[in-house]
C-alpha cells in the first residue's frame, strides 16, 4: 500500500508566506509517512484581485515557486503534485494555471495546464477565470510506482469526459479552490462520482477558508476509494489529510463490478 496526502490551505496574497505554510504542511505529511503529496490550486497566491497572479508568473523550470517544489520533493523523497502555479503564457496579460509534478529526486515528472476555466455569476458572486487564464489543451497523467495518476484541477471535475481520456488510473488528483457556494452543493458528489465511474482513488487537495480578498473557499479536502467511499476529510482551515492507496481494493472493485470492461462508447 502507498500513503498519500492532500494539503489544505487558506492562501494569502503573499507568495513567501504561502511557501512557508506549504513547506510546514508538506513536512508534516512526509513525517506521517506520505510518499505522494498534493498541494491545492492557487496555493502560491490568492491575490486581492485576479490579475495579481500575472505578476508572479514563472517561466517553466525557473522561479522561486518551482525551486521550492523541487527542493521539497527532493528533501523529503516524495512525489509532489504542485497544486497549481501561474506560468507565463503566449498572452502577456494572462497565465497558464499549471500543475507540475516532481519525483523524489526533485526532477520534473509531469505537467497539466488546466483546461476548463471556471465561470460563475449568481447574486453578489462573479468569477471568470478566462479573463486572466489561457486554457490548456492536453490531458495530463504520469506514472507513479503504484500506477497511473491522472491530473485535473477544480472546475475540470464537472467534465467527466476528461477523466475517461486519461485511461485507467490508480489515482486521480483534484487540486481545487471551489467556492463555498458551489462546493457545499456539488463538491463531494462530483468527487465521489469521478471515483465510482473510473473505479479508482481520488485525492482532492483544496483551499478551505475565508481569504484576505474576501473569497470563501469550501475546503473538505478528501480521499475517496474506488467504491466511492470517503476515507478521510478535513472540513475547513489549513491542515493535512492522509490515507492509503490499496491496489487490492481497486482490483476487487473492478473484478466484482467490471463496468470499465462493459463500456460500449
Judge whether 242 counts as a catalytic residue: no
Choose, from 154, 169, 200, 238, the residue flagged as catalytic: 154
Torsion angle, CA of 216/59/55/155, rounded to 10 degrees?
A: -20
Write the CA distances from 10 to 21, 62, 156, integer angstroms.
9, 25, 21
Length of the chain: 265
Judge whether 53 counts as a catalytic residue: no
Q: Of the candidates 175, 103, 106, 100, which has an alpha carbon nearest to the alpha carbon of residue 143?
A: 103
Angle at which helices 64-76 and 15-31 cross, to 10°: 10
Q: Are strands 108-113 and 95-102 parallel, antiparallel or unpaired?
A: antiparallel
* Chain position carrying cell 475546503: 219
| 171 phi-psi bin (left φ>0, alpha ψ -120 to 50, beta other) | beta
Choose, from 41, 58, 129, 236, the residue flagged as catalytic: 41
Q: What is the DSSP letter of 222?
A: E
Give dist(CA 59, CA 100) in Å, integer: 12
- The answer to whether 84 touches 118, Cβ cutoff 8 Å, is no
Q: Which three cell numbers stand for residue 146?
A: 503504484
Judge whether 200 counts as a catalytic residue: no
Q: Of the candidates 223, 173, 228, which has an alpha carbon nearest to the alpha carbon of residue 196?
A: 228
Choose, from 53, 114, 236, 238, the residue flagged as catalytic: 114
Enumerate the active-site residues.
Answer: 41, 114, 154
Amino acid at each position: 500500500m502507498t500513503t498519500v496526502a492532500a494539503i489544505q490551505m487558506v492562501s494569502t496574497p503573499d507568495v513567501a508566506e504561502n511557501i512557508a505554510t506549504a513547506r510546514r504542511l508538506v513536512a508534516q505529511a512526509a513525517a506521517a509517512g506520505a510518499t505522494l503529496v498534493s498541494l491545492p490550486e492557487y496555493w502560491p497566491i490568492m491575490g486581492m484581485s485576479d490579475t495579481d497572479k500575472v505578476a508572479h508568473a514563472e517561466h517553466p523550470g525557473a522561479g522561486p515557486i518551482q525551486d521550492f517544489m523541487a527542493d521539497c520533493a527532493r528533501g523529503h523523497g516524495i512525489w509532489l503534485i504542485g497544486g497549481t502555479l501561474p506560468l507565463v503564457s503566449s498572452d502577456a496579460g494572462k497565465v497558464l494555471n499549471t500543475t507540475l509534478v516532481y519525483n523524489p529526486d526533485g526532477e520534473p515528472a509531469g505537467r497539466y495546464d488546466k483546461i476548463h476555466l471556471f465561470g460563475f455569476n449568481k447574486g453578489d458572486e462573479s468569477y471568470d477565470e478566462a479573463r486572466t487564464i489561457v486554457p490548456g489543451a492536453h490531458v495530463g497523467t504520469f506514472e507513479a510506482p503504484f500506477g497511473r495518476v491522472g491530473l485535473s484541477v477544480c472546475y475540470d471535475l464537472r467534465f467527466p469526459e476528461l477523466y475517461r481520456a486519461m485511461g485507467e488510473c490508480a489515482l486521480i488528483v483534484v487540486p481545487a479552490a471551489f467556492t463555498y457556494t458551489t462546493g457545499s452543493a456539488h463538491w463531494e458528489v462530483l468527487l465521489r462520482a469521478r471515483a465510482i465511474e473510473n473505479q479508482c482513488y481520488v485525492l482532492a487537495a483544496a483551499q478551505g477558508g475565508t481569504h484576505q480578498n474576501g473569497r470563501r473557499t469550501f475546503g473538505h479536502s478528501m480521499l475517496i476509494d474506488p467504491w466511492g467511499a470517503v476515507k478521510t476529510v478535513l472540513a475547513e482551515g489549513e491542515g493535512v489529510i492522509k490515507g492509503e492507496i490499496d491496489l487490492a481494493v481497486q482490483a476487487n472493485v473492478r473484478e466484482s463490478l467490471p463496468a470499465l470492461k462493459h463500456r460500449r462508447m
